[in-house]
Amino acid sequence: MKFIPNSSIKDSMLKEMGLNNIKELFSDIPKKISVKELNLPKGLSQQETNQKLRKIACKNKTFYDMPCFTGGGIKPRYVPSVVRSVTSRSEFYTAYTPYQSEASQGFLQSMFEYQSMISELTGMDIANCSLYDGVTALSEAALMCTRVKRKKTFLIPQNISWEKKSVLKNYAKGPEIKVKEILYDKKTGKIDLKELREHIDEDVSGIYLENPNFFGIFEDDVHEISKIAEDAGSLFVVGVDPISLGITKSPGDYGADIVIGEGRSFGNPMDFGGSSLGIFACKKEFLRQIPGRVVGLTEDSEGKRAFCMALQTREQHIRRGRATSNICTNEGLCALAATTYLSWLGSDGLEELSRINFENGQKLAEDIESVDGFEKAFTGIHFNECLIKSSKDANQINKGLLKKDIQGGLIVDRWYPELKNYMLFGISEMHSDEDREKLVSALEEVSNV
Amino acid sequence: MYRSAAYDEPLLNELMKSKKEKSKTPKLLPDPLKRKEKVNIPNIDETQVVRHFHHLSQMNYGIDSGIYPLGSCTMKYNPKICEEIASWDGFASTHPLQNESTAQGNLQIMFELERMFCEITGMDYFTLQPAAGAHGEFLGMLLARAFHESNGDFERNEVILPDTSHGTNPASVTMAGYKLVEIPSTTNGTVDLDILEKTLSEKTACFMLTNPNTLGIFENKILEISRLVHDAGALLYYDGANMNAIMGKARPGDMGFDIVHLNLHKTFSTPHGGGGPGSGPVGVKTKLEKFLPVPRLCKNKKGFFFDYDATESIGKIKGFYGNFSVLLKAYVYLLMMGRDGLKETSEIAVLNSNYMKKKILDSGKYGLPYKALRKHEFVLSCEQLKQEKNVRAMDVAKRLLDHGFHPPTIYFPLIVKEALMIEPTESESKLDLDRYVDALIKIANEEPEVVKNAPNNTPVKRVDEVGATKNPVLTWNMI
């Protein structure tokens, strides 16, 4: 019995149907392609499976085995027990996309609350129920800019992750969008405004800016950039680390038209990089161009408040080839985790969390700079990640740290050859003072070898 | 009988009004970015947060609540052990960029999973990166383009689809920049080979097909289809949404498909989560391997490692390596099922579907367009009810809720009028199948007024979906 209740009564069911053999139900598969037996192991019992997986898990080191200071977006996060308790309710996690609204009011209302809180955070009018991740969210934003503005160039800064650039290149192929990179300022680590002004023209549908950017630096020329976009008739797209929004302005307050981000940090574990949560919010005027699922408030036949999926006519199951996106399955449960997390945290908790991340980020940089041979790469103010220039070979440093049970910084020269031996370090609310002290003394020892 | 709770549950911002308060921001933060007022989300005590979401969960139907026979969605049981293992710190608290030598467990799982998917589908290589089926389709289109272009063939700008295809297929095709060519099915509900042959040309990049198709019919001329497609120089794409019908019975790779996507949140029992996270791994034949996304997962004497250096790779389509937590759950499921369990899964999924189909047809209340033998799903038509009583598929679906069941997929595929698309899966007992059939027959005999006014036993009565689109209210600020 492997989750197949009728296994034991299949013969009597066949008989009731006037059949002799289950093979008759597969008689339409040509002999030439019918399979005798798959070359897979025999199934294991649940106990055997559990024990096997325990052994496999032991081959991994977790954040609790060795502190991880690796930058590049993802951080260990404290996930309150409340979140897991809610997302473990099987009424939620075993449900399908809420096509039948009367049987899905619970999930629909929580998605409405998610959209509301994401709108508040980002300073946008509306948000969707999620996209795959922050990386694909940028691509969807670029496609939306193209649909809205009917122009073919999209500007991105050089100081965003290589993954975002690579994914965008693929999403841009279909509509033949020209993606142009704007260099960063070598001193501050921020986008080079002069470069941006040189590249802007009437064919630009949107300008993307990331706050904080891949180097961890806050982009504070936001009003100037917003003005540049507006003057050129382009949309201003801002990518955020949503944790930073407890202390920084909502991008809507500095002129953003679309806001995207990776929302995993709201109540979701690291999960080796996935599951993830793509945040997508925008101004109301782009309502009918937004990609993905959207939940709306409406009424039932007796005038009672009710929720359902709205604007489905944009979506693939109705509009097919002319849909605003092909997305069907999104990241519903991760959005539910984010909703629970934010309601548990509240505005006070979010501000505190955000401040702790900022302060830990500053302490981290100070600590690392206190070691000879390490200094901050840029003068810009950073959040909870910091690019550090090492005078020694970065690979050797990381190897040494690994031996001392520390995951070191992300080496960035693969994507920025000019930044050889630069390492991106990151920290969150989960790192203790002892963790930082451990890093500092390890760096001292390793760099003295 | 299943009955949902019916709370008048306030919105979070109605539970506790948030007050406008000044932010306390660090001095060092650049002035233009300093938040002035705190974010407008309420500060609610944990006790109320828990009760709020508990109430909401009680107004939601999941597969643990009962049968959920959405056609083409494969709503099967999600084993509890998979959830538990995925929550272990040993997996959940690993960082995607930590040193590979400290993530060998994760890499082993992904490596073995790729091999298992190859065996199940008959493909040569797999990538686990796509986050969903539609994401896999999109990747498939990118791979097709890379393949043709590397052969110096830049003229192929069309993708052909049958009119029974899932909505994501055409959407993925146009998103990838291809021209969509939809061809009508035969009166048997299968691909029309003559029309296909006439439609294929030196402009065709790919033919996308689901097999068994969305009517639940196995395309038994698949080898001829494959020959026609390949003779025209095009590729054959397999939408794996219906893979639950044929595991251990037939493999898309043997049928001639070049690119395949799987839906782990369907066939491989990972929960759908109310709309994700999902996972849509893509398998290819050897000739397409070099185009797969980076990183490629490899193994040498030292262990498993990621290779980023594939020069002809299309690059990336998602951050990191896909939805790892979903991959892990599918891996646990596959270890438990093994070769015999998978085969029996498909056998009983098909048995259950044909059993239900026969019982419903015997009642004479619903029609079944197209020939009889079905795989894991079947599509009924309520046309007769519409003609006799003006009862539509939507009404039947809503009335099923009153009987305590989740409705099937409705109005799809588009070539069936008043469609009810039913996929029971292998997870349902005979008792539950019988009850569902009884409810459908009972509904057909009920007074039309009763059916058309359904549902009445749900937390809200029939929801005005048109209104939600006409006057969109998408946040609490828009109320």
User: Across the strands, what pairs with B126?
Assistant: B283
Is residue B72 included in any domain, yes or no? no
Interface test with B, best of A328, A330, A386 (most B CBs within 10 A): A328
In Å, how far is B445's CA from the nearest CA of chain A?
A: 23
Is residue B127 included in any domain, yes or no? yes
Within this chain, do residues B133 and B252 fall inside the same structural domain, yes or no? yes
pLDDT digits (tens, 9 = 90+) for B25-43: 999 999 999 999 999 999 9
Dihedral, CA of residue B245, residue B247, residue B253 and residue B256, to nearest 10: -30
The single residue listed with the structure tokens 């001829």 is B224
CATH of domain A81-341: 3.40.640.10
Within this chain, do residues B126 and B211 fall inside the same structural domain, yes or no? yes
In Å, how far is B378's CA from the nearest CA of chain A?
A: 13
Question: Which among B33, B41, B429 has the least Cβ separation from residue A5?
Answer: B429
Within this chain, do residues B143 and B214 fall inside the same structural domain, yes or no? yes
ipTM of the complex: 0.98
Q: State yes or no: pLDDT of B10 exceeds 90.
A: yes
DSSP B236: E
Asked: is A346-447 a CATH 3.30.530.20 domain? The reply is no
Q: Note whether B263 and B74 are within 8 A (CB).
A: yes
For residue B83, which residues of chain A lie inside 8 Å, CB to CB? 88, 93
Question: Which among A63, A120, A294 has the least Cβ separation from residue B93?
Answer: A63
- C-alpha distance across the termini of chain B, in Å: 35
CA angle in degrees (0–180, nearest 5) for B95-B98-B104: 95
Contact check, Cβ <8 Å, B272/A301: no
Q: Where are the domains of chain A?
A: 81-341, 346-447
In Å, how far is B232's CA from the nearest CA of chain A?
A: 22
For residue A173, which residues of chain B lie inside 8 Å, CB to CB? 142, 145, 176-177
pLDDT digits (tens, 9 = 90+) for B86-99: 999 999 999 999 99
Is residue B234 included in any domain, yes or no? yes
Residue range of the domain that includes B89: 81-337
Q: Specify the CATH number for the domain of residue B443.
A: 3.90.1150.10
The arithmetic mean of pLDDT across residues B197-215, rounded, is 97
Other C-beta atoms closer than 10 Å to the C-beta of B316 total 26
B89 interface with A at CB cutoff 8 Å: yes
H/E stretch holding B343: helix B324-363
> What span, in angstroms and rounded, lies between the C-alpha atoms of A407 and B212?
48
Q: Specify the CATH number for the domain of residue B266.
A: 3.40.640.10
> What span, in angstroms and rounded, lies between the C-alpha atoms of B153 and B155?
6
Report B:185-204 residues touching A (Cβ under 8 A).
none
User: What is the block-wise mean pLDDT of chain A (449 residues), using blocks of 10 residues?
Assistant: 91 97 96 96 97 98 96 94 98 97 98 98 98 98 97 98 98 97 98 97 97 98 98 98 98 98 97 96 96 96 97 85 89 98 98 98 98 97 98 97 97 96 98 97 91
Within this chain, do residues B346 and B377 fall inside the same structural domain, yes or no? yes
Is residue B5 included in any domain, yes or no? no
Lowest mean pLDDT among A1-5, A56-60, B240-244, B433-437: A1-5
What lies within 8 Å, CB to CB, of B466 at 6+ separation is none
For residue A268, which residues of chain B lie inside 8 Å, CB to CB? none
Q: State yes or no: pLDDT of B211 exceeds 60.
A: yes
Strands B235-240 and B259-262: parallel
Q: Which of B313, B337, B361 is the last residue of a domain?
A: B337
Question: Which among B79, B412, B474 has the least Cβ separation from residue A3?
Answer: B79
Looking at chain B, which residue has its C-alpha nearest residue A96? B274
> What span, in angstroms and rounded, lies between the C-alpha atoms of A326 and A319?
10
Within this chain, do residues B45 and B111 fall inside the same structural domain, yes or no? no
At B417, the pLDDT band (50, 70, 90 cuts) reads very high
Q: Output the DSSP codes for A196-258.
A: HHHH--TTEEEEEEEES-TTSB----HHHHHHHHHHTT-EEEEEE-GGGGGTB--GGGGT-SE
pLDDT at A320: 87
> What span, in angstroms and rounded, lies between the C-alpha atoms of B316 and A138?
13
Is residue B476 included in any domain, yes or no? no
Within this chain, do residues B186 and B113 fall inside the same structural domain, yes or no? yes
The arithmetic mean of pLDDT across residues B275-285, rounded, is 97
Within this chain, do residues B219 and B262 fall inside the same structural domain, yes or no? yes
In Å, how far is B59's CA from the nearest CA of chain A?
A: 5
Contact check, Cβ <8 Å, A62/B9: no
Within this chain, do residues B94 and B202 fall inside the same structural domain, yes or no? yes
**Mean of pLDDT over chain B:** 97
Contact check, Cβ <8 Å, A381/B133: no
Q: Which of B309, B337, B365 is the last residue of a domain?
A: B337
Number of domains forming the structure of chain B:
3
Residue ranges with strand state E in B29-178: 125-127, 158-162
pLDDT at B442: 98
Question: Which among B61, B406, B462 has the least Cβ separation from residue A300?
Answer: B462
CA angle in degrees (0–180, nearest 5) for B265-B270-B272: 55
Q: State yes or no: pLDDT of B20 exceeds 90.
A: no
What three-state secondary structure class fits A361? helix
For residue B305, which residues of chain A lie inside 8 Å, CB to CB? none
Cis peptide before B277 (omega within 30 of 0): yes
Within this chain, do residues B328 and B357 fall inside the same structural domain, yes or no? no
Ramachandran angles phi, psi of A274, nearest 5°: -165, 130
Is residue B71 included in any domain, yes or no? no
For residue B401, which residues of chain A lie inside 8 Å, CB to CB? 100, 102-103
Report B:28-87 residues touching A (Cβ under 8 A).
28-36, 38-44, 46, 49-50, 52-65, 68, 70, 73, 75-79, 81, 83, 85, 87
Looking at chain B, which residue has its C-alpha nearest residue A99? B409
For residue B114, which residues of chain A lie inside 8 Å, CB to CB? none
**Residue A222 corresponds to which tokens in the numbers above?**
């936001």
pLDDT at B18: 79
Within this chain, do residues B241 and B354 fall inside the same structural domain, yes or no? no
Within this chain, do residues B368 and B453 fall inside the same structural domain, yes or no? yes
Within this chain, do residues B266 and B354 fall inside the same structural domain, yes or no? no
Burial class (CB in 10 A: 0-12, 13-18, 19+), B475: buried
> What span, in angstroms and rounded, lies between the C-alpha atoms of B18 and B20?
7
Contact check, Cβ <8 Å, A318/B167: yes
The single residue listed with the structure tokens 């798959």 is A38
B461 interface with A at CB cutoff 8 Å: yes
For residue B476, which residues of chain A lie inside 8 Å, CB to CB? 112-113, 116
Is residue B156 included in any domain, yes or no? yes
User: Across the strands, what pairs with A237?
Assistant: A208, A258
User: Across the strands, what pairs with A424?
Assistant: A387, A410
Q: Note whether B333 and B262 are within 8 A (CB).
A: no
Question: Which among A29, A33, A174 has the least Cβ separation from residue B176?
Answer: A174
Contact check, Cβ <8 Å, A126/B265: no
Q: Output the DSSP codes for B349-361.
A: HHHHHHHHHHHHH
B215 interface with A at CB cutoff 8 Å: no
Interface test with A, best of B37, B93, B190, B420 (most A CBs within 10 A): B93
Q: Note whether A275 and A121 are within 8 A (CB).
A: no
Q: Which of B318, B337, B356 is the last residue of a domain?
A: B337
